[in-house]
Structure 1
Amino acid sequence: MNDLADKGKPVAHVYLELWSRLRDEGFLSLNSAQEMAFASGHTGQRALYTWRDRVTKLKELGFLDVKPGPFGPLSYALVWNPYHVIRKHYEEGRVREDKWQALIFRASEIGADDLDEDVPPVSPPKPKPTPKPKSKAKGARKSSAKSVALIV
């Protein structure tokens, strides 16, 4: 996970903190950002800024999806299965073979069997663009109250 992030900006400790707060469905409210930043090991004046930066990077890498809400742009998170995300990155050539094999070995040691499931896309689908309003043909008359009045 940290190998996929920018050098000098590890994300695994933030992911682990978020993961530890999950229940069954993978949905998480990020209403305690300051507390989560502290629990992730970030302290001082830039703690919250650094935590938000790491959460945003986890979203870019496909480990989470975040949505805005009452707590700002990072109010809610949906945490994806890390095996699936790492597998997708591996298939795209962004994870080294030795690290992938180590993950498979460790997963088998702990009895994880979800590496073989179908892998969803790394990023959630993008919303469909809003259709543009139809423009009027050249030379078409604009309707006005005067033209309506003449007809009546």
Structure 2
Amino acid sequence: MANINSKTEARKKVREAQAKANEARQERERHNVDDAASFLVELGRLAAVDEWEQGRVAEIRAEGERRRHEHRQEGAAAVSRMLDRGETLTAIAELAGIKVSEVRAVLKSAGAQPVAPPDALGAASPATDAPQNAGQGAASAAGDAARPVGVGGSA
């Protein structure tokens, strides 16, 4: 550093140094303001992503539930058709290789539960009072009494 002999020159040098420091500080503050604004924008975008994700998860959950319901309805319809053909829940479960409770669960979740007809409780019904075909006899009547009414059918 050069020797400064006068106070005027010293003040001039200090003012120049101060001006450079002020300029550097202002530049740093400008960059800080820009970066702080960018930071706030990114925080807002982050929150928007969280909201978007929650919305998508809800949409996907709803779509999954819709698809599950559709498959339950189709499965229950298939079980109902088999019940209408005279199959029992036990026979359907054995055929499908699943538990009877799973068959019942599909029927229940699809909004269709098998209902035990009155003749299953020993009461007379038109089905058991009607004449049977020659080859069926009492065995068929007993099988009908144990068979639940199909989905959408009447007791």
Q: Normalization by structure 2: what TM-score? A: 0.28
Higher relative contact order (CA 8 A, sep 6+): 2
Q: Normalization by structure 1: what TM-score? A: 0.28
Higher alpha-carbon Rg:
2
